[in-house]
Structure 1
Amino acid sequence: MTAARFPDTAPGRVLLATALRWHVDSLAASRAHTRAAATELGLEPRTQRACALAASELVSNALEHGSPPLELRLLEIASGLRLEVEDASPKPPTELHVPATAASGRGLSIVGAVSTRWGHYSTGSGKCVWCDIVASD
């Protein structure tokens, strides 16, 4: 995984752009939307699960540390899927290095583990945290 400020590859078509409720129920909604998009792209089940996990972690991080409103975007990229989660907080995400016994703080580390690269950028009205997940060989 490589962290980057901006995505270095241009996305293809937008598969989904939707507002999510500022509520824990959005975790399940983000996983469902992401699995559907990954299935539509023909990604294998293992990659579909990685996409759903990353979506859940990005949305969870936004709910915990960001500000409403919340938007999920799913974009086709070469051999995979780009996930983008936007919220109104300008504060950039911070990847924590927590002990194995910690109850939380692993979200971005998980995103980094299942994605090819991830990053964030300012939107002017907040931030967008994104990650790319490509099909495994």
Structure 2
Amino acid sequence: MARLELRADPSAARRTRSWLREQFAGTPLSTGVSQVLELLTTELVTNAVRHGREPIAVDLRRAGATVTVSVSDGGTGLPQVRHVPPTATGGRGVALVDTLAQRWGSHSTGGGKTVWFELALS
């Protein structure tokens, strides 16, 4: 398992993408899987920065051909899939996770919440 701790600032998503690339360096991932992994992880990190509170942490676990990414923050509200109008400039992050991940979920923790998803690496 690998962990990245983040501050709630605009560079968090960029730092997360760089960290993910480091974690999978030398692992043969298709471009599509790599892009989905980065997209879903940065969507959850962006939500933690915008709607949660510090501390923010990203945990990555690989088990065989599956990766589980968990993003924890100090906020209390659990995410919900929203259906926004086509003209909306945001609000689609959890819907993307719901559509592209094999499974996802969230739960309250003693000091906030954790949102996670699973993705097949092949």
Would you call these one fold, judging by a TM-score over 0.5? yes
Matching of residue 63 in structure 1 with residue 49 in structure 2 = yes
Residue identity in the other structure for 2:82: L
Aligned to 2:116: 130
Count the aligned residue pairs: 122
Query: Which residue of 1 is the match for residue 16 of structure 2?
Result: 30
Equivalent residue, structure 1, for 2:69? 83
Instruction: Report how far residue 32 of structure 1 moved.
Output: 1.6
Partner in structure 2 of residue 20 of structure 1: 6
> Aligned residues: percent identity?
31
* Residue of structure 1 equivalent to 2:103: 117
- CA RMSD, Structure 1 to Structure 2 (Å): 1.4
Name 1:9's counterpart in structure 2: none
Counterpart code for 1:88: G
Closer/same/farther in 2, CA of residues 35 and 114 from structure 1, 3 Å limit: farther
The one-letter code matched in structure 1 to 2:15 is A
Q: Residues 81 and 41 (structure 1 numbering): CA distance in 2 closer, same or farther, change over 3 Å?
A: farther
TM-score scaled by structure 1?
0.82
Q: What one-letter code is carried by the residue in structure 1 that aligns with 2:61?
A: L
Unaligned runs of 5+ in 1: 1-13
The answer to which structure, 1 or 2, has the higher relative contact order (CA under 8 A, 6+ apart) is 1
TM-score, L = length of structure 2: 0.91
